[in-house]
Amino acid sequence: MAQSFAPLIHALIVRAQATWLNRACENLRTAPTIATADFIKKCIPTTGNADLVFLFYRVIDAAVGRMSWESLGYSIWIAFEIHQHDHETRQIEMLWSGPPPADHLAARRIDQALYDLIASAKREILLVTFAAVKVERLASALLKATSDGVKVRLVLEFAEASEGQLSFDALKAFPPALVKMVDVYFWPVENRGRNQAGKPGKLHAKLAVVDDVVLVSSANLTDDAFSRNLEVGVRITDIGTLVWAKEYFDGLINESILRKVSSFTKV
């Protein structure tokens, strides 16, 4: 029974309007301790939403013998406030490059969103890409970030490790002055699966993690991807997504699935 109670409250709070739910919870908190479930149901504020009333009735019935009406009122309202806070702090912004979306569709360019994140970085930047070409503006922004004390990590694809599936090492797009300041990781070919034709898998992810924000898109770090290709992505502010992205790549590094490029190799 304890496990079935939380879903009932969740089903109620995701449908309820704040003002109405606040009144209903206040009625619960001030109801007589000895009041019956039928009495409590009659105290629910009127609403034209019959489904909402039905859900509240189910919560009331489930609470009988398990908690006081006062406790139920507080529990529902606290759950509602937590839900509202979670909803407000979890933001997803659509991004694009190439043909712009219609005027009524809110979205920012992928490159601008990335540059804005890097410019405001305070602690760390993780960039993952398959290809990198003509990234002068990006390299300049990353170099400034490193000079401000921001830790920068690059996870890149290499021609040799991909056995020629990428013709130009992504690292070569970045100037030596920056490369010396950052940590670079690659996916060794011996750690990759192979298809039926014998070709190894590609390091094909496109991801940026900047402090508390995650940016995922189809775009490589190239001038074509930022300016001409049709690409889409999302900018995500959500602690669960952030933790997953960081722990996934940290795990790959800690388990040596991804390996650090040596200073000798970098220069």
pLDDT tens per residue, range 31-48: 999 999 999 999 999 988
pLDDT of residue 263: 54
pLDDT of residue 265: 57
Q: Which residues does the chain have with pLDDT short of 70?
A: 1-3, 263-267
Q: How far apart are CA 28 and CA 44, in angstroms?
A: 9
The model's pLDDT over 69-85, given as tens digits with 9 standing for 90+, comes to 999 999 999 999 998 88
Residue 111: both structure tokens together = 């490159």
pLDDT of residue 267: 47
Taking the CB of residue 226, how many other CB atoms lie within 10 A of it? 23
How many alpha carbons fall within 13 Å on the CB side of residue 229?
16
Please state, for a pLDDT cut of 90, what percent of the chain lies above it.
80
Taking the CB of residue 222, how many other CB atoms lie within 10 A of it? 20
pLDDT of residue 266: 55
**CA-wise closest residue to 11 among 53, 40, 44:** 53
Residue 4: both structure tokens together = 């079935």
Q: How far apart are CA 79 and CA 116, in angstroms?
A: 35
Residue 147: both structure tokens together = 């000079």
pLDDT of residue 211: 97
pLDDT of residue 25: 95
